[in-house]
Amino acid sequence: MKRNDEIDIRDLLFETIQDRRFAAEITAERTGILYGCEYALRKLREMNLEITFFLPDGSHVTPGIRIAGFSGSAKQITMAEEIVIGIIAKTSGIATAAARAAELSQGKCKIASGAWKKMPHQIKEIVREAIRAGGISTRLIEEPFIYLDKNYVRIFGGISPALQAAERFEDYVKVIQLKKETGDIAFETRQAAEAGADVIMVDTGDLQDVLSAIETLENLDKRALKRVAFGKDVKIEEIPIFVKMGVDLLCIGKEIVDARLLDMRLDIIAM
- pLDDT score, position 122: 81
CB within 8 A of 231, min separation 6: which ones? 201, 202, 203, 205, 250, 251, 252, 253
pLDDT above 60 for 241: yes
Q: What is the CATH number of domain 4-102+260-270?
A: 3.90.1170.20
State how far the alpha carbon of 262 is from the alpha carbons of 10, 79, 139, in Å: 27, 19, 24
User: Please, what is the Cα angle at 257 between 26 and 259, to 5 degrees?
Assistant: 55
Q: Tell me the pLDDT tens digit for each residue of 185-231.
A: 999 999 999 999 999 999 998 999 999 999 999 999 999 999 999 98
Class of domain 107-257: alpha beta
- pLDDT score, position 118: 77
Q: Tell me the pLDDT tens digit for each residue of 77-88.
A: 998 988 889 889
Neighbours of 102 (CB within 10 A): 18
Cα distance between residue 128 and residue 74, in whole Å: 34
- pLDDT score, position 2: 47
Q: How many helices (H) and strands (E) does the chain have?
A: 10, 12
Confidence bin at 3 (pLDDT 50/70/90): low
* Domain boundaries along the sequence of the chain: 4-102+260-270, 107-257
Q: Tell me the pLDDT tens digit for each residue of 95-135.
A: 999 999 999 999 999 999 988 877 778 888 999 999 999 99
- pLDDT score, position 233: 84
Mean pLDDT throughout 252-263?
A: 92
pLDDT above 70 for 4: no
Q: Tell me the pLDDT tens digit for each residue of 125-152.
A: 999 999 999 999 999 999 999 999 999 9
Q: Tell me the pLDDT tens digit for each residue of 197-206.
A: 999 999 998 9
When the pLDDT of each residue in the chain is averaged and rounded to a whole number, the result is 92
Q: Tell me the pLDDT tens digit for each residue of 149-185.
A: 999 999 999 999 999 999 999 999 999 999 999 899 9
**DSSP collapsed to 3 states, 186-212:** HHHHHHHHHCCCCEEEECCCCHHHHHH
- pLDDT score, position 82: 87
> Has this prediction a pTM greater than 0.75?
yes
Q: Do domains 4-102+260-270 and 107-257 have the same CATH topology?
A: no
Cα distance between residue 228 and residue 177, in whole Å: 11
3-state secondary structure of 213: helix
